[in-house]
Amino acid sequence: MIVTIVLVSLIVIGIGGWTSFYLFQKADGGATTLKEAKNSGDVRVVSNDSLFVNEGKEEAILTEISQMHTYLNELLGWGAWQSFDPMNKEEELRTQLMHIETIIAPETRGPLKKDMDRAAYHIEKALEENDSEHLKMTHRIFHDLDVVMNDIVVDVYWGVTATYGK
């Protein structure tokens, strides 16, 4: 009898914990899984011809997007953005901003160019206002682009890009 009660309690706690995590994740900006977003039609299909200026540099830009996503993960991931002070990394962030503006953005067009401009804008605003919320948006832009463009398997898809969006 006690074993049954313990087992049922563990199942209820497990289901409750998972449900809470799922609902909190949904409440924070409408995150979903990439699979759910694709199944519901929330990920647009976009031709790479409309995204890149030079097809010969497409792979290099995909790598740049992946590297920027990795950098932002290390800087802000796992909730670190909540206590992050942009001014403590001002020089580093300005270097990343210049990289987006001079290396990545010039090789993009259409909605991908818009995403690069938005990512750069949010870094500028983060430094101007010393506000990590703006960096969170830059991170989400690169996260979603990396996930879709480089076919990364993840649990969370934000749907914040002009390129693939919701």
Residue 110 has pLDDT above 80, yes or no: yes
- Averaged over 18-39, what is the pLDDT? 55
Please report, for the chain, the start and end positions of each structural domain, with discontinuous segments joined by +: 1-30, 33-149
Model confidence over 60-105: pLDDT tens digits?
999 999 999 999 999 988 777 778 888 899 999 999 999 999 999 9
Give the separation between CA 90 and CA 93, rounded to whole angstroms. Answer: 5
Residue 33 has pLDDT above 90, yes or no: no
Give the separation between CA 69 and CA 127, rounded to whole angstroms. Answer: 19
Residue 31 has pLDDT above 50, yes or no: yes
Higher pLDDT, 150 or 36: 150
- Averaged over 42-60, what is the pLDDT? 84
Q: What per-residue confidence (pLDDT) applies to 30?
A: 60
The amino acid sitting at 102 is: T
Residue 20 has pLDDT above 50, yes or no: no
Q: What per-residue confidence (pLDDT) applies to 72?
A: 94
C-beta of residue 117 within 8 angstroms of C-beta of residue 147: no
Give the separation between CA 49 and CA 67, rounded to whole angstroms. Answer: 22
Q: Is the pTM of this model over 0.85?
A: no
Residue 35 has pLDDT above 90, yes or no: no
Share of the chain above pLDDT 70, in %: 78
The mean pLDDT of the chain is: 82
